[in-house]
Each structure stands twice: as C-alpha cells, then as structure tokens.
Amino acid sequence: MTAYFEKVNAWNKDLWKGLSLPLASLDLELTERCNNNCVHCYINLPPGDVDAQKRELSTSELKDILNEAASLGCLRVRFTGGEPLLREDFEELYVFARKLGLKVVIFTNATCITRALAELFFKIPPLELIEVTMFGARKNSYERITRSPGSFEAARRGMNLLLEKGVPFIIKGVLLKDNMTDAEELTSWTSTIPWMDGPPVFSRASYLRCRRDSKVKNDLIKRKRLSPAETVASLMSAQNGYENALREFCTKFMGPQGEKLFSCGAGIGGGCVDAYGNFQLCMMLRHPETVYDLRAGSLKEALEVFFPKIRETKASNPGYLKRCARCFLMGMCEQCPARSWIEYGTLDSPVEYLCEIAHAQARHLGLLEEGELGWEVKDWEQRLESLSGTAPGGEQTRTGQGTCALA
Amino acid sequence: MDKEVRLDCVYVPSRDIVARDIEGELIIVPLVSGIGDLEDELFTLNETGRAIWDRLDGKKKLSEIVSELCEEFEGDEKEIESDVLGLTNELLKRKIVVKTSTE
C-alpha cells in the first residue's frame, strides 16, 4: 500500500517546488494603538486615539484582504500592531482567518489575554507560536519600559492563562539601556516556558518612529537605545552562538551591493498591510512613494506590478554611492531603505548609527583595523575568506538568517 | 463509536479542517485542536490520495468510489479498494473525515 498521506511543514521548500506562490505570508497591523506606552516603540499611539481608530481598516475591509491573501496561496498571517488585541473585532478576524485555512501569528504584549481568549486559542489553535513581548523579569524593569502601571501583572496574568490552557507562546524582547542589566534574569525566566527552544530573541538596534511623527519621541529613543559599542558587546556575549552565526553569514552574504537599494527580500512573496490599508514592502518602510493603497487596489497588483517597480529603485545620494554602495560590510550592516527613511526621510542616506554598529562588529571579528572604513578596503574578499574557518567551536544559532531585526 | 472503515459507508471531510487547493496542491489545515498528531503541521495528499479525497463528497459510498476509480484508472480492483480503505482509515483516525451514514 502506498503512503497517500503526508504530514508537512508549511515552510518545507519541497512542498512548493515548481509552484510560484505570489504571497506566502502577510503581516497585518490591525491598529497602531497600544495600551502600553513603551519608551522605544516605533509606532504606538494612545489606546483611545479616536482619529486613528476612525481611519483603521474596517472588519469587512480586513476580511476582504484576508480572503484575497488566501486566494493567492498565503498560508500564514501575522496579526500585529500596536496591540492587535485592542481591536474589538479581534476574535472575529482571528476565527475568520483560521476558517480560511490560514495559520495566524499573534504578536502581542499579552496584557489583554482573557480566559475566554485563551480558551479560544486552545479550541481553535493559531497553528503558530504566539509571540509575546517582554522587557524585564520584574515589575520595575518591565514598567520602566512600558510606562503603563499594572502592565507587568497584566502581562503575567495573560501568559499564565496561555500556560494553563497549553497554548504555545514564545517571548521576544528588546534590549535598551533601561533593561540591559535584566537580560540575564529575563532569559533565565523565559527558560521556564515550555515552548522556548533557547534564549529569547532580543532586538537591540531600536528603530526611531517609523512615521517620523515625533521629534520628542525620537530623541527619547536615541537616548534609550544601546550605543554601537554596547550593541556589539551585548550581541557577542549572547549565549546563542551569535558570533559563530555572524562569521558564517559574513562569508556567504557580505560584499558591496552597488547602487541597487533593495538587496533584501522585502515585497517578494509577502509584505505588511498597515492599519489604514497601505501595503508596504516590509513592516518598516512607510515612505509615501513606496506604499500601495489597498483601498484602491489589490494585493495581487501590488505584488506583481507595484513592488517589483519599487525594488528596482537605485541610489542617487552621493553619500550613499561613495560609502554604502562600495562598502563590503553591506549584508552585515542593517542599512536599508526603511532605516534610511526612518532616520533621515530619504531612501538612500547612510544611517550613521547602523554604520557604526557594523564597523564595530567588523572590528570585533577582525575584518577591520581601528580607523579603517568598510568602503575603502580593497582586499575585502581575502579578509572574508580568512574569516571562514576561524569561528570558535560552538552551537549554531537561529539568528543567522540575516541582519534585519524583523527577519 | 464505530472506527472501522467500511465500504458501504459514506465519508465526508470534517468541518474541523480546512482543505485548501493551492496551485493544484491539496493542503489540509486543522481548524480545531486534536486534529492529527501535532498541531503546527499541515497535511497534503499524493496523487492517489487526491483522487480518492476528491470523491469523499458525503454522497458516495466507498464502494462506489472504488468502482469509479476502477473505471477511470483501469486498475486492479483489489488494489484500488485497499487504497481507498487505507486512506480513509488514516483520515478517519486523524479526524480529518467523518462518517455520515451506514447502510
């Protein structure tokens, strides 16, 4: 008797061999509103922001987008925000998506998880791990970041409800000056969560406000985010084999990328729909000329016509052409059109903060001497070659898939 | 509950799963807990499985499905019967199909 029946992982490449899925996964920002007020947040608006709420996609518009996503072969959607659970129609949208045969990633602070919601996730499982943000293992360190009294207890209560029902979730964190010293304790606490297969993934290079909407908030983020030296020290001391993975990554993917701005996979087989129906190549890129209005079009058209055109964009900024276009640290550096837009309002400005981090990492790995600049090095290929095989023994990591913090 | 698959019974995809046709590939996505062994897994069928699945419409008995397949593929009846019973049994075990009636 033959085996007619096969259990498959949705991301198994063989499954899609020969198929050309226009859309594999889709991020949906259900709202930009959030009940926390995190110091580092790139997007949050107050929970009661009526204007924002009025502009948000309606339930029916979101269902139309989910329907089209499913018709394009999409297997996974991510409900994110803001805090997606603030939407009154969250349950309706969740069940709707699951009934379309979509797996759902929920990115939440867990403070709004009720017994009823945990029960729903148990009965109709998301089929993906719920991703919970945590900033500290203690009330004071956590709420120093969230600036929302009672949020620590609420988050723990939400996670306990998930634990009670056996609903799988993992922790994601952010390291800032305010909670840097708590990372070890948080890591230790997360090891008690049955679905964590290692230390939590910490984002370090905090984004400025992605809508460029507040100088005051940007100044605060700049003060709170780790310095390049702190970022590198923290990355290299992480107990998840980051350094080995970085060495391996460098030998495979680093090198000057010329004037072409998009070297990542943004807008290929996926993208992010913001709370108001703008389809973006990735979660961060909100430059008005790079977003597609779904209220006047379709996911299909954006993926087949609009995004490929945007991806052809070339740099014209002399600073970028002189530095980034010729820099062999590209790949390791998080410089990208989205970060450039967020920091400077253009797609092709070298982001000094990221440049410093990349150079500090390169010095740490022995790729650069003190004072050397990545775009001036002529023998970069030999340097990268010498890097292979120099990695100290150690475990492989799951962070080696690229340097984009949102990968 | 009768768990034995029978040729004189009619089976239909359960409402607890979502069957999706993605570019010609059938993907079975669990909707509720308790489908299959692991909840983060999806299921797919091979060509033979797909030919059987497409006929599990809640109207045809398995014996009728066997006859249809014999006619269409001109295969050995015993072999096809064994395939139909085998697959339906696996699907039933995983609660992907349910029995609708018994003669």
Report the candidate in A70, A62, A65 with the shortest Cα–Cα distance to residue A88.
Answer: A62
Contact B43 A10 (CB under 8 A): no
Residue A20 Rama label (left phi>0; alpha psi -120 to 50; beta) = beta
Contact B86 A4 (CB under 8 A): yes
My answer on whether A95 and A188 are in the same domain is yes
- Residue A314 in this model has a pLDDT that exceeds 50: yes
My answer on whether A71 and A124 are in the same domain is yes
- The pLDDT value recorded for residue A359 is 96
In a domain? residue A2: no
- Residue A144 in this model has a pLDDT that exceeds 70: yes
In a domain? residue A71: yes
- Residue A1 in this model has a pLDDT that exceeds 50: no
- Homologous superfamily of domain range B11-98: Coenzyme PQQ synthesis protein D (PqqD) (1.10.10.1150)
Average pLDDT over residues A81-110: 98
Q: Per-residue confidence at B1, pLDDT binned at 50, 70, 90?
A: very low
Q: Which residues of B40-65 are buried (b: 16+ CB within 10 A; e: fewer)?
A: ebbbbbeebbbbbbebbeeebbbeeb
Instruction: Give me the phi and psi of B99, to 5 degrees please.
Output: -85, 140
Query: Which candidate from A5, A16, A123 shows the least CB-CB separation from B49?
Result: A5
Structural domains of chain A, count: 2
pLDDT digits (tens, 9 = 90+) for A116-126: 999 999 999 99
Contact B29 A6 (CB under 8 A): no
My answer on whether A257 and A176 are in the same domain is no
Per-domain residue ranges of chain B: 11-98
Of A66 and B1, more confident: A66
In a domain? residue A15: no
What CATH number is attached to the domain comprising A86?
3.20.20.70
- The pLDDT value recorded for residue B44 is 86
- The pLDDT value recorded for residue A244 is 84
My answer on whether A336 and A271 are in the same domain is no
Of A7 and A174, more confident: A174
Report the candidate in A263, A251, A241 with the shortest Cα–Cα distance to residue A197.
Answer: A241
- Residue A20 in this model has a pLDDT that exceeds 70: no
In a domain? residue A9: no
Residue A2: list chain B partners with CB under 8 A.
46, 48, 83
- Residue A202 in this model has a pLDDT that exceeds 90: no
How far is the alpha carbon of B101 from chain A, nearest alpha carbon, in Å?
A: 24
DSSP label at A182? Answer: G
- Residue A396 in this model has a pLDDT that exceeds 80: no
Task: For CA atoms A393, A172, A155, A144, give the dihedral sign.
Answer: positive
State ipTM: 0.91
My answer on whether A147 and A210 are in the same domain is yes
My answer on whether A53 and A179 are in the same domain is yes
My answer on whether A76 and A132 are in the same domain is yes
Peptide bond before residue A82 is cis, with ω within 30 degrees of 0: yes
Residue B29 CA to residue A15 CA, distance in Å, equals: 14
Contact B20 A124 (CB under 8 A): no
How far is the alpha carbon of A129 from chain B, nearest alpha carbon, in Å?
A: 9
My answer on whether A29 and A54 are in the same domain is yes
Contact B37 A7 (CB under 8 A): yes
- The pLDDT value recorded for residue A183 is 86
**Percent of chain A clearing pLDDT 90 (strictly above):** 77
Which of the residue ranges A209-223, A234-248, A265-279, A288-302 would you say has the lowest mean pLDDT? A234-248
In a domain? residue A288: no
- Cα-to-chain-centroid distance, residue A301: 24
My answer on whether A187 and A218 are in the same domain is yes
In a domain? residue A38: yes
Which of the residue ranges A11-20, A105-114, A216-225, B88-97 would you say has the lowest mean pLDDT? A11-20
pLDDT digits (tens, 9 = 90+) for A65-82: 999 999 999 999 999 999
Average pLDDT over residues B85-94: 92
Q: Per-residue confidence at A296, pLDDT binned at 50, 70, 90?
A: very high
- The pLDDT value recorded for residue A236 is 84
Q: Per-residue confidence at B46, pLDDT binned at 50, 70, 90?
A: confident
Residue B25 CA to residue B80 CA, distance in Å, equals: 22
Contact A21 B82 (CB under 8 A): no
- The pLDDT value recorded for residue A297 is 97
Contact B42 A4 (CB under 8 A): no
For A22, A23, A25, A95, A100, the CA distances from A66, given in Å and listed in that order, are: 14, 12, 11, 11, 8
In a domain? residue A161: yes
Query: Which candidate from B24, B38, B46 shows the least CB-CB separation from A4?
Result: B46
Q: Per-residue confidence at A196, pLDDT binned at 50, 70, 90?
A: very high
My answer on whether A157 and A255 are in the same domain is no
CB-defined contacts A:B, below 8 A: 91
Residue A83 CA to residue B9 CA, distance in Å, equals: 49
Of A15 and A325, more confident: A325
Q: By the CB < 8 Å criterion, does B13 face chain A?
A: no
- The pLDDT value recorded for residue A165 is 97
How far is the alpha carbon of B65 from chain A, nearest alpha carbon, in Å?
A: 16
Residue A134 CA to residue A143 CA, distance in Å, equals: 10
Residue A285 CA to residue A295 CA, distance in Å, equals: 18
A43: which 2 tokens? 């997007």
In a domain? residue A56: yes
My answer on whether A216 and A257 are in the same domain is no
- The pLDDT value recorded for residue A12 is 55
Average pLDDT over residues B25-37: 85
Residue A345: domain span: 242-261+313-386
Average pLDDT over chain A, rounded to an integer: 90
- Residue A403 in this model has a pLDDT that exceeds 80: no
- Residue B32 in this model has a pLDDT that exceeds 80: yes
Contact B90 A1 (CB under 8 A): no
Which of the residue ranges A166-180, A204-218, A386-400 would you say has the lowest mean pLDDT? A386-400
My answer on whether A372 and A255 are in the same domain is yes
User: Nearest residue of B to residue A104 by CA position?
Assistant: B40
pLDDT digits (tens, 9 = 90+) for A331-359: 899 999 999 999 999 999 999 999 999 99
- Note whether A2 and B48 are within 8 A (CB): yes
Query: Which candidate from B19, B22, B45 shows the least CB-CB separation from A73?
Result: B22
Average pLDDT over residues B22-40: 80
